[in-house]
Amino acid sequence: MNRDLTAILLGVVMGTLARFLMLRRDVRQYPSYPHSVVNHLALGFVAATLGAVAVPAIAAREFTAVTFLALAATQFREVRNMEREMLKSLEHSQLVSRGPDFIEGIARTFEARNYLVMLVAVTASGISFVSGSWLIGLATGVPVIFIARRLMKGRVIGDIARVRSARHRFEGPNIFVEDIHIMNLGLPEIRETYHRLARAAVLEPFDDNGREILANVGQRQAIAHDTATLLGIHRDVDTAEFTPLLRRNPESGRVAMLIVPIEPDEECLLEAIRNVPVLESARVKPLAAKAGKCASD
Amino acid sequence: MDVAIRKLILAAVTTGEGEVSGVPVFHAKDDEQKEFIATTLSRVLEAVAHDLGNGVYILVRH
């Protein structure tokens, strides 16, 4: 087999494999229906092919072939739009919605993953082509896959805040988690259910950066959605009272969460909250700026 | 820009006279009946019943 073909084949295989490995992380954030899996694997294959031909094409002085990469970028932006539209249209069927910030985050991730696939394919095929050995190409491609996965992992709530369980109490019709007011519940029957089944948690940010992340309403909606998905939610379409809520203490920046889960295990609740990804749109770093740092004293 | 009403008082349930105006008011003869009406309305309207503390329940769509 000639050198071009070996390099391209290796790039395509490594790129598609990279897409497959990145797909495994989606199970929790997004239902990986068999058809969705096929969609994304196919797009990953296309991305890998485009990446894999780049270096052999340049070597063959076929410079126009590289312009296909620009075409690919347009295509993958389409992927982002497709995901966004789909998740938005499914939003009405969710008992606890994801919220626009979470949807945007997921859509952006899907787009970015295709670029990573291209990166893996370009590296594997490029190195293999230049060195003339597919083994060296393989040896470079594998670490790139893992580096790419690691870089894209992002942070989770457990990294920015201490998550601990808390107690809820009623003051008349008002329900509190520690000192944070959650909501007003009029009906005694609903209050009774809360009294019996509700579970509460408090999220204490480690620093000012964490405080501002938890202040983001989209981030809190993402926490509510993920937790409700993992533990089940004691509500139906006609019982809006049981929507999980996260409210903030404006003085300390602590956030309290109240949920009526189907599975009442507190440790699992805390684990679910800790593993919610920090959304890109919520990520702010006031401590990196002079004013933010001096204000935090 | 989209302009939409996000929160809306759909109805009020009370045992008192003349405490509420401006929204559909349901008069109950006692507290038990007030709770029953509020529960039914909250299910039908997919709204949350809030207690204002003065004997009036309001049903709010969130």
Is residue A294 situated within a structural domain?
Answer: no
Is residue B1 situated within a structural domain?
Answer: no
Residue A68: give the domain boundaries: 3-153
Is residue A33 situated within a structural domain?
Answer: yes
Higher pLDDT, A214 or A106: A214
- Where does residue A133 fall: left (phi above 0), alpha (psi -120 to 50 degrees), or beta otherwise? beta
If asked whether residues A124 and A202 sit together in one domain, one would say: no
If asked whether residues A73 and A129 sit together in one domain, one would say: yes
**Nearest C-alpha of chain B: how many angstroms from A108?**
24
Reference A7, options A165, A161, A163, A123; nearest CA is A123
Look at residue A12 in the predicted model and tell me its pLDDT: 93
Total domain count, chain B? 1
Q: Which one of A110, A127, A153 terminates a domain?
A: A153
ipTM: 0.83
**Minimal Cα distance from A183: which residue of B?**
B50
Cross-chain CB nearest to A240 (options B38, B39, B48): B48
If asked whether residues A13 and A149 sit together in one domain, one would say: yes
**Minimal Cα distance from A173: which residue of B?**
B51
* Contact across the interface for A238 and B35, Cβ inside 8 Å: no
If asked whether residues A12 and A144 sit together in one domain, one would say: yes
Q: Rounded mean pLDDT of A78-88?
A: 87
* Contact across the interface for B62 and A187, Cβ inside 8 Å: no
Reference A113, options A74, A75, A76; nearest CA is A76
pLDDT bracket for residue B4 (50, 70, 90): low
Q: Which one of A153, A172, A188 terminates a domain?
A: A153
A249 vs B1: CA distance, rounded Å: 31
- Most B CBs within 10 A among A95, A171, A187, A191, hence the mutation to make, goes to A187
Q: Express each pLDDT in A149-206 by its tens digit.
A: 887 778 899 999 999 999 999 999 999 999 999 999 989 999 999 999 999 999 999 9
**Nearest C-alpha of chain A: how many angstroms from B3?**
17
For residue A189, what are the contacts with CB-CB under 8 A and spacing of at least 6? B35, B39
A212 vs A290: CA distance, rounded Å: 16
* Contact across the interface for A240 and B39, Cβ inside 8 Å: no
Cross-chain CB nearest to B51 (options A184, A239, A243): A184
Q: Rounded mean pLDDT of B21-43?
A: 92
A167 vs A199: CA distance, rounded Å: 8
Q: Which residues of A touch B (CB under 8 A)?
A: 172-173, 183-190, 237-241, 243
Q: Rounded mean pLDDT of A107-133?
A: 89
**Nearest C-alpha of chain A: how many angstroms from B58?**
8
Total domain count, chain A? 2
Higher pLDDT, A25 or A65: A65
Residues of A in contact with B47 (CB under 8 A): 240
Q: Which one of A153, A179, A213 terminates a domain?
A: A153
Is residue B43 situated within a structural domain?
Answer: yes
A196 vs A289: CA distance, rounded Å: 46
Instruction: Measure Cα distances from A251 to A128, A153, A201 in Å.
Output: 58, 31, 18
Look at residue A27 in the predicted model and tell me its pLDDT: 44
Is residue B19 situated within a structural domain?
Answer: yes
Look at residue A94 in the predicted model and tell me its pLDDT: 86
If asked whether residues A121 and A175 sit together in one domain, one would say: no
If asked whether residues A49 and A144 sit together in one domain, one would say: yes
If asked whether residues A16 and A97 sit together in one domain, one would say: yes
Is residue A263 situated within a structural domain?
Answer: yes
Is residue A166 situated within a structural domain?
Answer: yes
A16 vs A24: CA distance, rounded Å: 13
Is residue B2 situated within a structural domain?
Answer: no
What are A131's two structure tokens? 């060195």
Beta bridge partners of A205: A161
If asked whether residues A116 and A207 sit together in one domain, one would say: no
Residues of B in contact with A97 (CB under 8 A): none
Q: What is the DSSP string of B5-47?
A: ---EEEEEEESSSSS--SS-EEE-SSHHHHHHHHHHHHHHHT-
pLDDT > 90 fraction of chain A, expressed in percent and rounded: 44
Look at residue A297 in the predicted model and tell me its pLDDT: 67
**Nearest C-alpha of chain B: how many angstroms from A278?**
26
Average pLDDT, chain A: 88
**Nearest C-alpha of chain B: how many angstroms from A179?**
20
* Contact across the interface for A187 and B44, Cβ inside 8 Å: no
- Residue A237 backbone phi and psi in degrees, to 5: -60, -30
Is residue A293 situated within a structural domain?
Answer: no
Residue A116, judged by CB atoms within 10 A of its CB (0-12, 13-18, 19+), counts as buried
**Minimal Cα distance from B39: which residue of A?**
A187
Q: Rounded mean pLDDT of A58-67?
A: 83
Is residue A8 situated within a structural domain?
Answer: yes
* Contact across the interface for B51 and A172, Cβ inside 8 Å: yes
If asked whether residues A22 and A140 sit together in one domain, one would say: yes
- Most B CBs within 10 A among A170, A171, A181, A184, hence the mutation to make, goes to A184
Chain-centre distance of CA A214, in angstroms? Answer: 16
Is residue A292 situated within a structural domain?
Answer: no
If asked whether residues A194 and A142 sit together in one domain, one would say: no
If asked whether residues A117 and A180 sit together in one domain, one would say: no
Instruction: Measure Cα distances from B15 to A142, B35, B40 in Å.
Output: 72, 10, 16
- Most A CBs within 10 A among B7, B45, B50, hence the mutation to make, goes to B50
Look at residue A197 in the predicted model and tell me its pLDDT: 93
- Most A CBs within 10 A among B41, B51, B62, hence the mutation to make, goes to B51
Look at residue A28 in the predicted model and tell me its pLDDT: 46
DSSP A279: P
Q: Rounded mean pLDDT of B23-41?
A: 93
If asked whether residues A113 and A174 sit together in one domain, one would say: no
Is residue A247 situated within a structural domain?
Answer: yes
Residue B20: give the domain boundaries: 8-61
DSSP A24: T
* Contact across the interface for B39 and A184, Cβ inside 8 Å: no
A117 vs A138: CA distance, rounded Å: 14
